[in-house]
A and B are shown apart, each in its own frame.
Chain A
Amino acid sequence: MTDMSYLDGNMLDGPLRELFAVDLSSATGRCDSCGTLGPVAGLHVFSHAPGLVGRCPACSEVMLRLVRAPDRAWLDLRGTTFLQVPMPLDQPHPRPL
């Protein structure tokens, strides 16, 4: 890619921690478009679009979009098949009741 106006997924951690209790930059995401697995920290983040747009470093498709208004946030993850989030060992493992 020749456009150098992006940052990387590391910078998403602050904005995403407004929504989530865990660090998502070390979570692994799978691109819905090309199937590449990689850390959220590795996304190419464009911050001059309305909100923050995270693109797959392999195929450049949008995997994540976060738009923040004073009283709400929109998180669009439709370009992501899943996010695998490392959890601390001392969390009780969820099991069926």
Chain B
Amino acid sequence: MAAPTTDRVAGPLTWRVARLVERRTETPTAQTLVLEVPGWPGHVAGQHVDVRLTAPDGYQAARSYSLAGPPDGDRIALTVQKVPDGEVSPYLIDVYGAGDPVEVRGPVGGWFVWRTEETAPVLLVAGGSGVVPLMAMIRARRDAGSRVPFRLIYSVRTPADVIYADELRRRARDDQGLDVAYVYTREAPEGWRGEPHRVGLADVNTHGWPADLEPLCYVCGPTGFVETVADLLVGLGHQTRRVKTERFGPTG
């Protein structure tokens, strides 16, 4: 992995032209886009990029997307969840084609990051596409051979909405010290204990770390989800500054 760039005085950010080189379907509504960004400076797990589209008439729209994994030379991966009435995400999912240009600025965000030198246990709590930067942390942990214990609590509507489902299953089996627990809000799979529900105190208590262990907590997803989980964690005695949040936007 390239050297972290965020601690450096790097100069103002500029927009770079990126091109789509690969597309992977993750769920019926989410896709991973692999972009080639010439001169990509590297990044740390948890950082994001700003993506900018320009219409033929000059109108521009920019949105943030988390980096889904460690850098691979000039290639970066983003996982985009389609917001049906959205402006940018439906374009990236349905229209944006192989070789097409898009502008990218980054990496940005030096706070919601996990560095492989960290030694504290980690709790990751994801709602929907909020799993993206947390998956980047899980992948970075594996790449670095880190033994730091990780727990992921992943809230989804139905089993079909689990992004990275196969990889998470494999890593929970093979990556030592990684536990993954799911919370289903609408429809649970056969054999799952309990009824569909929104993440609550019992989930965070059962699948998280006790506050005494002083874990680092990363919570990411829709704004209301993040608010609820961050409040639960602080209520359970976790220090505010060890509960890092990333809000993706309005609803769930």
Q: A residues bordering B, Cβ < 8 Å?
A: 4-11, 13-14, 17-23, 25-26, 38-42, 86-88, 91
Contacts and interface: CB of A to CB of B under 8 A. Distances in A.
29 contacts: A4-B224, A4-B250, A4-B251, A5-B223, A5-B250, A6-B223, A7-B223, A8-B226, A8-B245, A8-B247, A10-B111, A10-B112, A11-B48, A11-B64, A14-B50, A14-B108, A17-B108, A18-B12, A18-B13, A21-B9, A22-B9, A23-B109, A23-B110, A25-B108, A25-B110, A39-B241, A41-B109, A41-B112, A42-B111
Contacts of A21: 9-12
Nearest to A39: B111
A58 B247 CA distance: 17
A42 B230 CA distance: 12
Max chain A C-beta neighbours (<10 A), residue from B8, B105, B109, B112: B109
A60 B106 CA distance: 29
B223 A14 contact: no
A19 B10 CA distance: 12
Nearest to B223: A4
Interface SS majority for chain A:
loop
Interface of B: 6-13, 48, 50, 62, 64, 105-106, 108-112, 223-224, 226-227, 241, 244-251
B108 A19 contact: no
Max chain A C-beta neighbours (<10 A), residue from B105, B223, B250: B223
Max chain A C-beta neighbours (<10 A), residue from B64, B110, B224: B110
B246 to A, nearest CB: 5
A17 to B, nearest CB: 4
Contacts, number: 80
A26 B111 contact: yes
A25 B246 CA distance: 12
A38 B242 CA distance: 12
Contact of A41 (B12, B62, B111, B248): B111
Contact of A87 (B9, B48, B62, B223): B9
Contacts of A9: 111
Nearest to A41: B111
A55 to B, nearest CB: 13
Contact of B8 (A8, A25, A39, A88): A88
Contacts of B11: 21
Given A13-B109, A23-B109, 12 more contacts: A4-B224, A4-B227, A7-B249, A8-B245, A10-B247, A14-B50, A14-B62, A21-B9, A21-B11, A41-B111, A42-B245, A86-B7
A14 B67 CA distance: 14
A14 B7 contact: no
A90 to B, nearest CB: 9
